[in-house]
Amino acid sequence: MTQPSIGLIGLGVMGANLALNIAEKGFDIGVANRTAETTRRFHAGAGELARRITPCASIPELVAALTPPRTIIIMVKAGAPVDAQIAELRPHLSPGDAIVDAGNANFHDTLRRDASFQGSGLNFIGMGVSGGEEGARHGPSIMAGGPEDAYARIARVLEAISATYQGAPCCAWVGPDGAGHFVKMIHNGIEYADMQMIAEVYGLLRDGVGMAASEIADVFAAWNTGPLNSYLIEITAGVLAVGDEKSGKPLVDVIQDRAGQKGTGRWSVMEAQSLGVPATTIEAAVAARALSSLRDERARAAAVYGAQQPPRLELDRSVLIGRLEAGLYAGKIAAYAQGFAVLEAASAEHQWNLPLATIARIWRAGCIIRSQFLDRIAAAFEATGGKGNLLLAPDFVAEMTNAHPALRSIVALAAATASPAPALSSALAYFDAYRQARGTANLIQAQRDFFGAHGFERIGEVGDHHGPWGAAS
């Protein structure tokens, strides 16, 4: 074993799997953890890969074990623990060394940390890693931000451990300072929307049609062979097919309907609002998770208003399933269009020059939202130079023209059968508003001018105008 130049701190599930991935790809690595016993156990359980892993009992020992210029990956809980780890590390590092935060950091924290490294001779990389523990072990999608030269020094390692799609690594430098963590945040926001729309379609099949979980599993499995082919559709089919040994029921039927969240979805909504970009489908998905957590309140509301007894849908089942597939695809297009619109706006705001086509490509494998669909998004941005809303890309214009009637139909069916579909409904409303050449904001501007003298533009005229509202009052 040669002296490694790469180290990793934090041997929880994600950190341990990432370290094993690095070792398996032929790179020597030093590792450390807050507790030395965890490090010892990890090394003892690494099997043949242990020969490429140098266990270290302390931070000074880890730094001493690495060949300069060193790159040390931090895999600890986001927030204050990252700051504490950086503060402990910095006194032991030398000019040219780099610290990589590979956790789910808020990109504002990454901006702050990057600024604190300026002029120090040290480098800070904020790196989004998607794919969960399986991805960390066998190939995640990696979105790196920070100094490009510092990334270039470890690109060979990161590309080797990342997932691949048709031979291409799902790993890239996407921009300076907080760009990597921002891209990962929006990935997670899109993930929220994708999952929520899938759950809403599941609800229509379960409550509107009366299908059993195993039957719905077959529907999703069939969809995974068509335009909706993706990791989330695949695992949905899988989880719906699993039985519960304890109750004898489908496992999904005994899981409490209260969804958790760790914050990245909320952050993505907050940043979209801050940038003035409508991301309504993502917003609806985040709100739906928050509403799901109000389990006791929902139970009281059900008692007050009476349990919902949605009527069964009278449509031919095969016709309905076809509409649901097309409608879900239309909703997916709208959600991804919103997510990439937020990325484009943030790129301009922070002067990142985010490579949107590259981002779509590195999401094609390894990450949670991986799908064939992203191939088409990458091609669309290649054609436009990474500019413009996806809904205006010629291929997607054709797709939405064909698919939005199905989305309209299933949103109407959801309303008629009391099946909540906030994300699908928001996707439809976004599409309708986006393609409406003259909307209703003219009335809002008149109202604003009436009570606040904010002024308005007149059609075909230049300048600010005010109305004679005194007569109206």
Structural contact between residues 431 and 391, judged by C-beta atoms closer than 8 angstroms: yes
Q: Which residue has the tokens 């790159």?
A: 71
Q: What share of the chain is helix, strand, coil (3-state, %, to 5)?
A: 60, 10, 30
CA angle, residues 353, 359, 363, in degrees to nearest 5: 165
Type of residue at 238: G
> Of 86, 334, 65, whose CA–CA distance to 190 is shortest?
334
268: helix, strand or coil: helix
Q: How far apart are CA 320 and CA 204, in angstroms?
A: 10
Instruction: Characterize the bridge pairing of strands 71-74 and 53-55.
Output: unpaired
Catalytic residue among 133, 148, 191, 349: 191
Query: Residue 302, Cβ neighbours under 10 Å: how many?
Result: 11
Could you confirm whether 262 is annotated as catalytic? no
Structural contact between residues 354 and 158, judged by C-beta atoms closer than 8 angstroms: no
> Of 61, 148, 71, whose CA–CA distance to 102 is shortest?
71
Could you confirm whether 461 is annotated as catalytic? no
In residues, how long is the chain?
473
Tokens of 433: 């508003």
334: helix, strand or coil: helix
98: helix, strand or coil: strand
Rg (the chain; Cα; Å): 25
In DSSP terms, 169 is beta-bridged to: 164
342: helix, strand or coil: helix
Burial of 285 (0-12, 13-18, 19+ CB in 10 A): buried
CA–centroid distance for 59 within its chain = 32
Catalytic residue among 88, 184, 325, 457: 184
Catalytic annotation, residues: 184, 191
